[in-house]
Amino acid sequence: MPTLLHIDTSVFPGEASASRSVTATFRKEWEAQHPNGTVIYRDLAAEPLPHLDGLAAAAGFAAPDQRSPEQHAAFALRETLAGELEQADVVLIGAPMYNFTIPSTLKAWLDHVIIMGRTAGAEETTTSGTPTIVVASRGGGYGPGTPRESFEFVTNYLGKALGDGLGLDVTFVVPELTLARSNPAMADLVELSDASKAKAHEDVAAKAKELATRFAAA
């Protein structure tokens, strides 16, 4: 049975988080199709990873038999995280926009799993082609043609880091204007906000079914 790697990063719990609610819809549909499958779950807000340090970074560039005992110890977490990514048949990431970019906890995860010559830096990496759904929620609107288009550093960055860097096959689902119901200044955008959220749930449910069908036929 296929393995799903599910990563949430929102600092808000449950339905208070747009990204968590949408990733939950994907996972519910996925598990309905694969009740006996494996799900690896990391809540990086509840259990944040340490930042990459010099020892762990240097260990990634050294052959295993040439690492010092300290480097071996420092690399252990990177090995675990990279192994989870390599094991995954599908990756699901909740990536809300905080201050125009991704949560720092997600950046820490990326710094650990991007290992040159293994998961990255080669024409074919150990993670190449893995279907990856990124729920990139945001409180406002940052799409093409909007006044704040140039402030968008979530899909731009993750498209490069996940797609070009790790070789993942990335699909973005973008629920936007999520603050419309709580911000009086956005009251006239509530209808658009609700439509965007509904579409996000529909899109991830459809994507989960599509991928489930693909792996059932494999």
Task: Name beta bridge partners: 41.
Answer: 6
Number of Cβ within a 10 Å radius of residue 19? 26
Length of the chain: 218
| Predicted structure pTM score | 0.96
* Cα–Cα dist 42/101, whole Å: 20
Token code pair at residue 141:
């609107």
**pLDDT tens, N- to C-terminus, the chain (218 residues):** 899 999 999 999 988 899 999 999 999 999 999 888 899 999 999 999 999 999 999 999 999 999 999 999 999 999 999 999 999 999 999 999 999 999 999 999 999 999 999 999 978 999 999 999 999 999 999 989 999 999 999 999 999 999 999 999 999 999 999 999 999 999 999 999 999 999 999 999 999 999 998 987 76
| Cα distance between residue 28 and residue 21, in whole Å | 11
